[in-house]
Amino acid sequence: GENVEQHPSTLSVQEGDSAVIKCTYSDSASNYFPWYKQELGKGPQLIIDIRSNVGEKKDQRIAVTLNKTAKHFSLHITETQPEDSAVYFCAANSMEYGNKLVFGAGTILRVKS
């Protein structure tokens, strides 16, 4: 089945700097890769996603890149702000269990002002 690894587990950046979180996946059949942001006491909220037919997608300060050959994808946040502090999860879909998402273990991002 699909396995998703996420790095780093914690990341501290200065306000205004960029942050990059990387994930690798194992199942070449996976074709959908969402990123979720989870704030304290809340459920995961989708912030951006990418499908396997594109290599990069941007939404204002957030971008995701996908390398299907190497089976890895990354989240890039530019001009970080204190409100970007949260836990970020990458995920990949899987043929198992219907429309299952397999999640990475998460990255705690701290933006210092």
Partner 1 sequence: NAGVTQTPKFQVLKTGQSMTLQCAQDMNHEYMSWYRQDPGMGLRLIHYSVGAGITDQGEVPNGYNVSRSTTEDFPLRLLSAAPSQTSVYFCASSSRDRSQPQHFGDGTRLSIL
Interface ranges with partner 1 (CB under 8 A): 4, 31-32, 34, 36, 41-46, 49, 51, 89, 93, 97-101, 103-106
Residue 73 or 89: which CB sits closer to partner 1?
89
Q: What letter would DSSP give residue 104?
A: P
| Cα–Cα distance, 85 to 61 (Å, whole number) | 14
- CA angle (51 as vertex; 47, 54 as ends), nearest 5: 110
Is there a contact between 6 and 22 (Cβ–Cβ < 8 Å)?
Answer: yes
- Whether the link from the prior residue into 82 is cis, omega within 30° of 0, is no
Q: How far is the CB of 5 from partner 1 (least distance, A)?
A: 10
Least Å distance, CB 111 to partner 1, is: 22
* Comparison of 19 and 37: residue with beta carbon closer to partner 1: 37
Give least dist CB 4 to partner 1, A. 8
Pick 15 or 96: Cβ nearer partner 1: 96
Tell me how far, at minimum, the Cβ of 58 lies from partner 1, in Å.
17
Residue with tokens 């809340």: 42
